[in-house]
Structure 1
Amino acid sequence: MSRSERLLQLLQLLRNHRYPVSGADLASQLNISLRTLYRDIRSLQAQGAQIEGETGLGYVLREGFVLPPLMFTPEEIEALVLGARWVSERTDSELAGSARQALAKISAIVTPALRYRLDESPLLVGPTDSSLLCQQLVLDIRQAIEAEHKLVIHYGDQNGRQTERTIWPFAIGFFDQIRLLVAWCELRKEIRNFRLDRITNLQTTGNKYPRRRQTLLNEWYRQNNISRQ
């Protein structure tokens, strides 16, 4: 592996960790010595990468430094195409448009060979049940999540009984058969899952909920024993 390839791989490893990762772990994954790792980190910092941390505490890459897009591999390009096609078919119109725009931006700067992979990828996304789309509902919920605003919903259980809930939405799960809204429910005083196809009415309140979205999401991860990098 050339030094430039190693530096790019180091950047990618740092991008994969939202929290500080030790130098020993990074050196092990790159199969290099700690001395070489420290030298590489200094080189990246000199080139503008905002890598924070120090020996013994770990390192984290702050937002704002972009990997050169020309370094995408053919497999990475096809993964992006497949993901963008999935988003285009199974989410709201805003996200679908953003997925197409992202591919257009990538197409404008990659090599001709990779552009061919973008345009002619054989990886296809099959049709989905149109009843799962709920495009306007998904858009309204996503906007509420972004703003950390409470929602008032009318929700039907599996027996058809309706209840009115004030909820704090913080995540949406896109599954093959259902779409789930994850939110704190003021009625139940706990985090609950709500099927989008059982929401019969939704009202945006414009009122912020008292806890941060990320705090609620982290709590949900802990409750479900899901680890995060």
Structure 2
Amino acid sequence: MLPTNRLFSIIQILRNARRPVKAQQLADKFEVSVRTIYRDIAELQNQLVPIQGEAGVGYILKPGYEMPPLMLTANELEAVALGAHWVSQRGDKYLSQSANSLLEKIKEVVPEHLQSVILDTNLVSANFAQAVEDSINMDDVREAIRQQNKLFIAYKDVKENTSHRIIWPIMVAYFHSVRLVVAWCENRQDFRHFRTDRINKIEVLAENYPRSRQTLKLEWQKKEKITLPQTNSQ
């Protein structure tokens, strides 16, 4: 385990402990020496984490201590940095700007000993295909998805034929070079995928689509035989 991850884990253990935790117990759990645990405790105390106790007796965390809102491990920060780097290169214009803004905000609040994880990351996303530019404002599409608004679109197919449709957008799929809006199409009465570089025009309609986005996503997954990653959010 990385030292920064171990510091975070020590805080978690002390928060949950009902009695003093000895250095030897921590050393056994993390498979390090007792001397290393002493150094970790000293480092946490230097960061103003209110740990009380001493060698041979055990350590406790002062009641009422709350960790900072953004207390991430080095691995978690690397995951964020890698994901944000990919989005900054492969996302649409506004999402790319947001990815860079996210990293700037994180750099402002992470502890000093984790700054290098963001500033000098050793993980990169390799991209060999040129991203195709969108023909529309993707901010409008994402807001329509969040609010479950219908969209009127002018769509040009691979043969350069343009059709006008009303769709119920439920997701945007980001690939290395293109993006697809996943939606229920009123014209086709079925799910369709629309490349964002072929949508020439969109108009956000005031009307909401009649079924929930979550229900539509489940129907789409069943039809396409696709399993999406599970999250804790609704």
Q: Distance in 2 between matches of 1:152 and 1:99?
A: 28
Q: How far did 1:74 drift? A: 2.0
Q: Distance in 2 between matches of 1:6 and 1:91?
A: 41
Aligned match of 2:221:
221
Q: How far did 1:156 drift? A: 2.2
Instruction: Give identity over the alignment, percent.
Output: 36
Question: Contact 1:182/1:194 (CA < 8 Å) preserved in 2?
Answer: yes
Stretches of structure 1 that go unaligned for 5 or more consecutive residues are 9-46, 48-65
Pairs within 5 Å for 1:1-229: 4-5=12-13, 69-70=70-71, 72-126=72-126, 129-130=130-131, 132-134=132-134, 136-227=136-227, 229=230
Q: Distance in 2 between matches of 1:6 and 1:148?
A: 44
Q: How far did 1:2 drift? A: 6.3
**Equivalent position SS for 2:226:** coil
Paired residues, what number? 171
Question: Contact 2:90/2:177 (CA < 8 Å) preserved in 1?
Answer: no
Q: TM-score, normalised by structure 1?
A: 0.63
Aligned match of 1:38:
none
Q: How far did 1:176 drift? A: 1.4
Partner letter of residue 99 of structure 1? A
**Equivalent position SS for 1:152:** strand
Q: How far did 1:6 drift? A: 10
Aligned match of 1:36:
none
Question: Contact 1:88/1:97 (CA < 8 Å) preserved in 2?
Answer: yes
Supply the RMSD in Å over aligned alpha carbons: 2.9
Is the helix fraction higher in 1 or 2? 1
Q: How far did 1:88 drift? A: 1.8
User: Structure 1 pair 101/178, CA: closer, same or farther in 2 (3 Å)?
Assistant: closer
User: Which one is further off, 200-209 or 80-89?
Assistant: 200-209
Q: Deviations over 1:16-71 (max 9, x none)?
A: xxxxxxxxxxxxxxxxxxxxxxxxxxxxxxx9xxxxxxxxxxxxxxxxxx99633x
Aligned match of 1:37:
none
Q: Distance in 2 between matches of 1:157 and 1:6?
A: 60
Q: Distance in 1 between matches of 2:195 and 2:157?
A: 9
User: Structure 1 pair 207/101, CA: closer, same or farther in 2 (3 Å)?
Assistant: same
Q: Distance in 2 between matches of 1:135 and 1:84?
A: 23
Q: How far did 1:134 drift? A: 1.5
Q: Distance in 2 between matches of 1:154 and 1:204?
A: 12
Question: Contact 1:91/1:138 (CA < 8 Å) preserved in 2?
Answer: no
**Equivalent position SS for 1:133:** coil
Partner letter of residue 217 of structure 1? K
